[in-house]
Structure 1
Amino acid sequence: MNSKVTHINVGNLAENCWFLANEDTKEAVVIDPGAEPDRICAAAEKHGWKITAILLTHGHIDHMGACESLRTELGVKVYALTEEEDLLLDAKKNLSVFIERKVVTFEPDELLRDGQELTLAGMKIQVIHTPGHTPGGCSYYVADAGCVFSGDTLFAESVGRSDFPGGSTSALVRAVKEKLFLLPDDTLVCPGHGEETTIGHEKKYNSFV
């Protein structure tokens, strides 16, 4: 499979909206479309990709703010972990009332479970429950592409915040150490903000391992 991974920054918080594309079929999965749906569509069109699905690593507004517009315009399904449904449906927990100053709630089309394997755009995607930043935070591992989309769980030389509603420092550390750090060292980490890194680099850098 000929895959391509790239992103654009969207919204006021410079959130990374990721594209996982199958260059053989010209289909693409969008991960965390936080804002600016027109720019997201334009980026896909520039590459000649058809967006066929949307994955959410978690339900904070800066990661899901463009979901409703994209789902309506493109007719695609949005996937999120079962444990995140409550946060997506609560404007205080998903931070929309604080960041956007308005109520934004969202109900995904498909609820996922830890360990589930999806096949989207002809690509196999493993769902990994990585709570701590939010209760239903998850990461998506794509072995064939050698990458993991970590949302706000793992960043370059940092981990996510755990002081938002439903957050847990201990759960976050366990998720990184006991789940993400089991992936191959050369796995590219595609985070929700900031630069890419690798699992191997983060294992050496983070002192809690």
Structure 2
Amino acid sequence: MTNSATPPLRAATVPVTPLQQNCTLLWCTATMRGAFVDPGGDLPKLRAAMAHHGVTIEKIILTHGHIDHCGEAGVLAKELGVPIEGPHEADRFWIARLADDGRAYGINGVVFEPDRWLVEGDRVTVGNLVLDVYHCPGHTPGHVVFHHAPSKLALVGDVLFQGSIGRTDFPMGNHQDLLDAIVAKLWPLGDDTSFVPGHGPMSNFGHERRHNPFVGDAALAA
């Protein structure tokens, strides 16, 4: 039974693959139904986290198509019998090359077809939770961000990091698109919004606006 002191959303971060990608297990505390966000690999660790927290996984959601974020998403979805939602279809290019990229990085990469491609303005449900979808290209063309407004929490993949931003030197990357997405899509969500990045520690948008050397207010005004 959820009481007023229990937040509607809980999340646990599980770093996976040699690239230490932040896979997030998030769940609805009212239903104990959850989702894995970007399960790139190390599936035994993810199964253990699911069991530890007593969460029933109902779907997998993906921010983008890079190997460390979705290399084994299709494997896990098939094993659990759940759908995959995301990313935006512009990342079909990246998902199609997962096997080749996996060999290059020493990560198991299995090509899959999401059950639902996402676009700007879509919503994704997890239990009773509703996540808003923002299309934030630049790191990859089909990158999306998930935001749970009541919790002031965003899952931003490789768009933004504590003190840094996503790389744009990969095929189909675009530096200006990335900057535009951060300023136009993320900053309006509020300085008090915390975010889970694809790698490294959490931060919040206010801190990054004050201190981020790439996309902070002072950097962009220079």
Q: Describe how 1:117-132 pairs up with structure 2 within 5 A.
A: 117-132=123-138
CA distance in 1, matches of 2:184, 2:134: 11
- Structure 2 partner of 1:89: 96
Tell me the equivalent position of 2:23.
17
**Residues 151-170 of structure 1: matches in 2 within 5 Å?**
151-170=157-176
What displacement does 1:101 show? 7.3
Say if 2:66 is the partner of 1:54. no
The CA RMSD over aligned residues, in Å, is: 1.7
Structure 1, unmatched stretches of 5+, are none
1:71 to 68, 77, 83: 77
Which of 177, 197, 200 is the matching residue for 2:203? 197
Moved over 6 A (4+): none
2:28 and 2:126 map into 1 onto residues whose CA distance is 9
**Structure of higher CA gyration radius:** 2
Which whole-Å deviations, capped at 9, do the CAs of 1:167-191 have from their partners, x for residues lacking one?
0111111111111111111111110
Partner AA of 1:86 in structure 2: F
Between structures 1 and 2, the one with greater strand share: 1
Quote the sequence identity (%).
35
Establish whether residue 173 from structure 1 lines up as the match of residue 179 from structure 2.
Answer: yes
Tell whether the 8 Å contact from 2:148 to 2:154 is kept in structure 1 after alignment: yes
Letter in 1 for 2:77: R
Q: Quick one: distance in 1 between partners of 2:109 and 2:33?
A: 32
Is the partner of 1:203 in helix, strand or coil?
helix
Q: Answer yes or no: is 1:34 the counterpart of 2:40.
A: yes
The amino acid across from 1:82 in the alignment is E
Which residue is equivalent to 1:113? 119
Instruction: Count residues with an aligned counterpart.
Output: 208
Instruction: Call closer, same or farther: CA 1:97–1:124 in 2, change over 3 Å.
Output: same
Deviation per residue, 1:82-120 (Å, 9 max, x gap): 22223211348x833421377642211111111112222
1:63-100, Cα deviation, whole Å (9 max, x unpaired): 002212211111011111222223211348x8334213
**Residue 208 (str. 1) matches residue 220 (str. 2):** yes
Deviation at 1:20, TM superposition (A): 1.4
Q: Letter of the 1:14 partner, please give it.
A: Q
Stretches of structure 2 lacking an aligned partner (at least 5 in a row) = 1-6
C-alpha distance in 1 between matches for 2:90 and 2:37:
18
CA–CA separation in structure 1 for the residues paired with 2:159 and 2:123:
20
Cα deviation 1:15-53 (Å, max 9, x = unaligned): 100011111111111100011112101101101101111
- Using the size of structure 1 for normalisation, the TM-score is 0.93
2: CA distance, partners of 1:103 / 1:144: 35
2:190 to 167, 180, 184: 184
Q: Is the 8 A contact 2:98 2:110 kept in 1?
A: yes
Please tell me whether the aligned partners of residues 162 and 208 of structure 2 are also in contact (alpha carbons under 8 angstroms).
yes
